[in-house]
A and B are shown apart, each in its own frame.
Chain A
Amino acid sequence: MESLLRIPVSELCDAIRRGSIKAEDYMASTLDRIRRLEDKVHAFITLVEEPILMERAREIDRRVKDGRGFVGSLPGIPIAIKDLICTKGLRTTCGSRILEGYIPSYNATVIERLQGQGAIVLGKTNMDEFAMGSSTEFSYFGPTRNPWDLSRVPGGSSGGSAAALAAYEAPLALGSDTGGSVRCPASFCSVVGLKPTYGLVSRFGLIAYANSLEQIGPMARTVEDCALLFSLMVGRDPLDSTSVEPPETVFFQSQRTDDAMDLKGLKVGIPKEFFGEGTQEPVAEAVQRTLEKLESLGAQCQETTIPSIHYALPAYYIIAMSEASSNLARYDGLRYGLRVPDRGYGWNAIFSENRRLGFGPEVKRRIILGTYALSAGYFEKYYLKAQKIRTILRMEFQRAFKHFHILAGPSMPILPFKIGEKVSNPLEMYMCDVHTVPANLTGLPALSLPCGFRNGLPVGIQFMAPAFQEGLIFKVAFALEKALDLREEPSLGFR
């Protein structure tokens, strides 16, 4: 592989700004890599045309050379965007047939911000349809394969973004995380992924699955790159009433090496529920090893408990499915998206047919369940109750954070499974989310960091912190990352 592609982003940005590396060359290497690997990995649904990408990269180089014109904090850096984030003029499908040809008329706020910093949208990555899934197998466009083992899933629903990073097809990526959709593929593909505190990143332009749970999350191969990307994404957006101004604590400053290594005084809580029966032995072992490493850096690890955590999964699914059933109602074929030929049918028949043909089975499953949960007489029993569980969980986490700075555990209870293994068993698939949904229900920040391999497959460790403490998470993850010093690269059949 081109050595250019191995350069971490922050270094790369400096080099491009100095002119010692040309954005054009980096882009060319990236496209070359994609050309060689995409058949195997299938990380992308849509790629921006090469001439356009090259021209945008050249523009950055021109500005650098002339010393004139704004270049930004991510000059010429290609970014892979999960295909449910709106990109103006560039097809956005949500991995679904119902939006197969849909071209948004506007950019999501994050896209505007990142492009404003010189970043170049590389293409749209594959995902589970409408973000509903944990394996990227529920994409209308076919599955993405895990670069570490092409017969296995990359995780989901942001599987395409994670795979693109792992395969060095892109240096940075955006995913979205509603119930673990950034952290799951990050864990399965051995990359870094963050679900921010709810409200830090504008959701304007994020095609909604479950509004009260989701955030757009930065993904990268290193903690530092992830933190850099994140710092450029946050900020109150007047177009998103649920967004907030970021306090200083969300930012990470890569400090002097010795400071960064020192985690003395850090109290890490390990909820025992994260090592329950569902957790595979190799995963538990890998994370335990990692916690020992953490302790060697000065941290103190201690078991704790979040007693109601076993309610988190059902609460998550009720809320997510309910909100989804409403968010996806707009896809009726009348204004955009799949429109089957009319045969003089009445309104009901037309939109039913469009949706029947446009939505995949998992999406239909969730819409039906969500509709049921919200129907008359059931609101109190399901949706309202699930919301109450959120409050209880928030309180239990708050209590834990009185004694600990951060909480840790495996991001996923299992190693990446084979493609096709869980597709026919929805409940088993849902169980994959058991460690990740609490962060979405409580709005707390959570990050997945690669922490080793077992049986040749990646394991991720998850860190959770109080709201707006991303800075702390990055600090801990950065130190651990250095200490773990993982060197593996996916073979993908060749080098």
Chain B
Amino acid sequence: MVKDKGKGGGKGRKEGEGKESEPKVIIGLEVHVQLTNLKTKLFCSCSTDYRGAEPNTHVCPICMGEPGTLPVLNEGAIEDAIMVALALGSNISKRTLFSRKNYFYPDMPKNFQISQYDGAGGIPFATGGSVSIGVGKEVRIRRIQIEEDPGRLVYEGTIDASPFTLVDYNRAGLPLIEIVTEPDIESPKEARMFLQSLRSILEHLGVFDESLQGAMRCDANISIRGGKRVEIKNISSFKDVERALSFEITRQKGLLARGLKVGMETRHWDDLRRITVSLRIKEEEQDYRYFPEPDLVPITISEDLIAKVKARMPILPSERKKIFADKYGIPLQTAEVLVSSKAMADFFEECIKLKADPLTLANWLTGDLKALLNEMEIEIWESKVTPAHMAELLSLMKEGILSGKMAKEVLKEVVATGKMPRKIVEERGLRTIASMESLKEVVERVFSENPEAVRDALRQEKAVHFLIGQVMKATKGSADPLIANEAVRKKLEEIASLSSSSSPSLSLSPSPSPSSSPSRT
């Protein structure tokens, strides 16, 4: 982080988390979520399943805004919006209507977007509510609204260098829910945490499928120390949110350090070069000339409708977390991590069905598996591991065939190749010689081969470790170290107790010692 040597350095000490001259960062997010569970677009009957299709094939006169066409509302969007509002604790407007947001841009066939607004005669769908982001913090929601997605602009390379812009209207008219936060977010990390919590809630509601590329996008608004607000557009992954905001903070601090002012502007996140690029600089807000959409009638949201939606609402992550804790005895902290991703939580439940031990399972999922996935930068559904794999792995451990350490190795291979754990164990000859019985032979052999070490081991810890090491070596590392440890110590105990009451033939120590048994004299 660039150290702020400019104005307000002293003030910074009070704010931030004790970091040197950290200016107050204020971040607000506008999240756009595609209602991918709806089969048709928001205002026409084109299919929403456009990913992978040829450009401009999921279009019709209505979503292309051809002259004379009129929008007709997909009522599924209203029900989805009710669910989202209920889940976030927002106040649903009794009456809502659509507004036109007017501006010229090639990705919008009508050169206006049918959206919602809270001024100029408009009534957004819901206001208020909040999302808990862990660390005891709540991010408040300003409003929730329904709107149509614009089309997609495609560039060759970066936006600056591209010799042309291509337009694909397949996405135009797709139903979106926009969730606008209050500027309660104070760091890029918090922004990411907010998005993760929100994503989990929305996935649990079933209104959107996170595996679909671009289904959740966000614009960020950031200002430092109460300065001018910069809007960043085109952020399409959670990692990008953190990167874009961090970059922007650095950029702005750099300007301030040189005594320059931060201008109010809109910047575009270039995910190839990982920088923000200025899109338009305006002295004021862009004027969208909002007015109520005359081709659509206002919608009344009745108590009955809300109750009907509430009744069929799926379980929320916060509720699921409690269930995991109560039913399976999992610590809340662990449960929280489990439900932070619906895919993970579902995975967990599937494994339980396959009789995996809940606590062990939870620890493995939130610990080793999560770490592996993070390292490989993939999501759980992108990896090859399935509940069957996990259940088998856990049962191999339970059976004593695999040690914990070995299991970690096996898991790595499962995630990478998708092979079943038993197969991997066979192929790599990894059976852990776990039971004392099977180790007994090895221990006998090692002890007889290393008489001096055995003698030393009765007195020194170092030699004990040597013996254990030899046992491990003899089993080519496949012995469970804990059990090898136990076996060696037990054997030593045996020898020690035998020699105290034993016949000379069992004496293993050639040199007499003061502490030797009476039989030795």
B61, A106: Cβ atoms under 8 Å? yes
- Is A128 at the interface (CB under 8 A from chain B)? no
A322, B291: Cβ atoms under 8 Å? yes
B68, A206: Cβ atoms under 8 Å? yes
A212, B66: Cβ atoms under 8 Å? no
Q: Indicate whether A329 sits within 8 Å of B102 (C-beta atoms), given known contacts A104-B68, A212-B294, A375-B289.
A: yes
Q: Indicate whether A239 sits within 8 Å of B289 (C-beta atoms), given known contacts A326-B112, A329-B104, A330-B111.
A: no
How long is the Cα–Cα vector from A238 to B74 in the complex, in angstroms? 12
**Most central of B64, B66, B121, B287 by chain A CB within 10 Å:** B66
Q: Mask for A381-410, Cβ within 8 A of B = 1, else 0?
A: 001100100000000000000000000000
Nearest residue (CB) in A for B69 is: A204
A239, B70: Cβ atoms under 8 Å? yes
- Is B73 at the interface (CB under 8 A from chain A)? yes
- Is A207 at the interface (CB under 8 A from chain B)? yes
- Distance to closest chain B CB from A188 (angstroms): 26
- Checking B68, B295, B297 against A86 with a beta-carbon cut-off of 8 angstroms, the contacting residue is B68
How long is the Cα–Cα vector from A203 to B106 in the complex, in angstroms? 26
- Is A304 at the interface (CB under 8 A from chain B)? no
- Checking B106, B112, B287, B295 against A329 with a beta-carbon cut-off of 8 angstroms, the contacting residue is B112
A108, B104: Cβ atoms under 8 Å? no
B67, A99: Cβ atoms under 8 Å? yes
- CB contacts (< 8 Å) of A239 on chain B: these are 70, 72
- Is A334 at the interface (CB under 8 A from chain B)? yes
A329, B67: Cβ atoms under 8 Å? no
- CB contacts (< 8 Å) of A375 on chain B: these are 287, 289
Closest 6 CB pairs of A and B: A329-B111, A374-B289, A211-B294, A212-B294, A207-B67, A86-B68
A374, B291: Cβ atoms under 8 Å? yes
For window 77-128 of B, CB contacts with A under 8 Å fall at: 100, 102, 104-106, 109-112, 119-121
How long is the Cα–Cα vector from A241 to B66 in the complex, in angstroms? 17
**Most central of B61, B68, B69, B297 by chain A CB within 10 Å:** B68
- Distance to closest chain A CB from B165 (angstroms): 8
How long is the Cα–Cα vector from A242 to B109 in the complex, in angstroms? 22
A334, B106: Cβ atoms under 8 Å? yes
Known: A204-B70, A332-B111, A371-B289. 7 other contacts (CB 8 A): A104-B66, A207-B68, A208-B68, A325-B289, A326-B289, A329-B112, A379-B119
Q: Give the interface size class of chain B.
A: 20 to 34
- CB contacts (< 8 Å) of B109 on chain A: these are 330, 335
- Distance to closest chain A CB from B70 (angstroms): 5
Residue pairs across A and B with Cβ atoms less than 8 A apart, 21 shown, are A84-B68, A85-B68, A94-B67, A102-B67, A104-B61, A204-B70, A207-B68, A240-B70, A241-B72, A241-B296, A323-B291, A325-B289, A329-B110, A330-B67, A336-B66, A336-B67, A374-B289, A375-B289, A379-B290, A384-B121, A387-B121
- Is B71 at the interface (CB under 8 A from chain A)? yes
Chain A: how many interface residues by the 8 Å CB criterion? 45
For window 151-170 of B, CB contacts with A under 8 Å fall at: 165, 167
- CB contacts (< 8 Å) of B104 on chain A: these are 329, 332, 347-348, 351
B120, A379: Cβ atoms under 8 Å? yes
- CB contacts (< 8 Å) of A206 on chain B: these are 68
How long is the Cα–Cα vector from A186 to B291 in the complex, in angstroms? 33
- Distance to closest chain A CB from B486 (angstroms): 75
B106, A241: Cβ atoms under 8 Å? no
Nearest residue (CB) in B for A203 is: B70
A86, B67: Cβ atoms under 8 Å? yes
- Is A1 at the interface (CB under 8 A from chain B)? no
B70, A379: Cβ atoms under 8 Å? no
Q: Mask for B273-316, Cβ within 8 A of A = 1, else 0?
A: 00000000000010101110011110000000000000000000
For window 283-339 of A, CB contacts with B under 8 Å fall at: 322-323, 325-326, 329-330, 332, 334-336
How long is the Cα–Cα vector from A383 to B289 in the complex, in angstroms? 11
Q: Indicate whether A104 sits within 8 Å of B67 (C-beta atoms), given known contacts A238-B72, A241-B296, A384-B121.
A: yes
B289, A347: Cβ atoms under 8 Å? no
- Is B65 at the interface (CB under 8 A from chain A)? yes
Residues of A within 8 A of B (CB): 84-86, 92, 94, 99, 102, 104-106, 108, 203-208, 211-212, 238-242, 322-323, 325-326, 329-330, 332, 334-336, 347-348, 351, 371, 374-376, 379, 383-384, 387
How long is the Cα–Cα vector from A283 to B283 in the complex, in angstroms? 55
A323, B68: Cβ atoms under 8 Å? no
How long is the Cα–Cα vector from A225 to B334 in the complex, in angstroms? 78
- CB contacts (< 8 Å) of A384 on chain B: these are 120-121
How long is the Cα–Cα vector from A110 to B250 in the complex, in angstroms? 60
B64, A335: Cβ atoms under 8 Å? yes
- CB contacts (< 8 Å) of B294 on chain A: these are 211-212, 242, 323
A241, B61: Cβ atoms under 8 Å? no
- Checking A108, A322, A376 against B68 with a beta-carbon cut-off of 8 angstroms, the contacting residue is A108
- CB contacts (< 8 Å) of A208 on chain B: these are 67-68, 295
- CB contacts (< 8 Å) of A242 on chain B: these are 70, 294-295, 297
B68, A204: Cβ atoms under 8 Å? yes
B110, A241: Cβ atoms under 8 Å? no
How long is the Cα–Cα vector from A376 to B103 in the complex, in angstroms? 13
A379, B287: Cβ atoms under 8 Å? no
Q: Indicate whether A334 sits within 8 Å of B68 (C-beta atoms), given known contacts A105-B61, A211-B294, A211-B295.
A: no
Nearest residue (CB) in A for B67 is: A207
B102, A374: Cβ atoms under 8 Å? yes
How long is the Cα–Cα vector from A334 to B68 in the complex, in angstroms? 17
How long is the Cα–Cα vector from A447 to B294 in the complex, in angstroms? 24
- CB contacts (< 8 Å) of A348 on chain B: these are 104
- Distance to closest chain B CB from A388 (angstroms): 11
B291, A379: Cβ atoms under 8 Å? yes
Nearest residue (CB) in B for A355 is: B104
**Most central of B65, B106, B294 by chain A CB within 10 Å:** B294
How long is the Cα–Cα vector from A320 to B104 in the complex, in angstroms? 20
B121, A241: Cβ atoms under 8 Å? no
How long is the Cα–Cα vector from A98 to B53 in the complex, in angstroms? 31
How long is the Cα–Cα vector from A273 to B444 in the complex, in angstroms? 119
- CB contacts (< 8 Å) of A238 on chain B: these are 72
- CB contacts (< 8 Å) of A212 on chain B: these are 294
**Most central of A105, A330, A374, A387 by chain B CB within 10 Å:** A330
- CB contacts (< 8 Å) of B111 on chain A: these are 329-330, 332
Q: Indicate whether A241 sits within 8 Å of B68 (C-beta atoms), given known contacts A330-B109, A332-B111, A379-B120.
A: no
Nearest residue (CB) in B for A210 is: B294
Nearest residue (CB) in B for A212 is: B294
- Distance to closest chain B CB from A121 (angstroms): 15
How long is the Cα–Cα vector from A86 to B66 in the complex, in angstroms? 10
How long is the Cα–Cα vector from A218 to B110 in the complex, in angstroms? 29
How long is the Cα–Cα vector from A238 to B73 in the complex, in angstroms? 10
- Checking A205, A241, A376 against B287 with a beta-carbon cut-off of 8 angstroms, the contacting residue is A376
How long is the Cα–Cα vector from A332 to B289 in the complex, in angstroms? 18
For window 349-379 of B, CB contacts with A under 8 Å fall at: none
How long is the Cα–Cα vector from A94 to B68 in the complex, in angstroms? 11
How long is the Cα–Cα vector from A241 to B70 in the complex, in angstroms? 8
Q: Indicate whether A330 sits within 8 Å of B65 (C-beta atoms), given known contacts A239-B72, A347-B106, A379-B121.
A: yes
- Distance to closest chain A CB from B64 (angstroms): 7
- CB contacts (< 8 Å) of B295 on chain A: these are 203, 208, 211, 240-242
A330, B110: Cβ atoms under 8 Å? yes
A376, B289: Cβ atoms under 8 Å? yes
- CB contacts (< 8 Å) of A104 on chain B: these are 61, 66-68
- Distance to closest chain A CB from B105 (angstroms): 8
How long is the Cα–Cα vector from A326 to B285 in the complex, in angstroms? 19
- CB contacts (< 8 Å) of A326 on chain B: these are 100, 102, 112, 289, 291
How long is the Cα–Cα vector from A239 to B469 in the complex, in angstroms? 80
- CB contacts (< 8 Å) of A332 on chain B: these are 104, 106, 111
How long is the Cα–Cα vector from A206 to B66 in the complex, in angstroms? 11
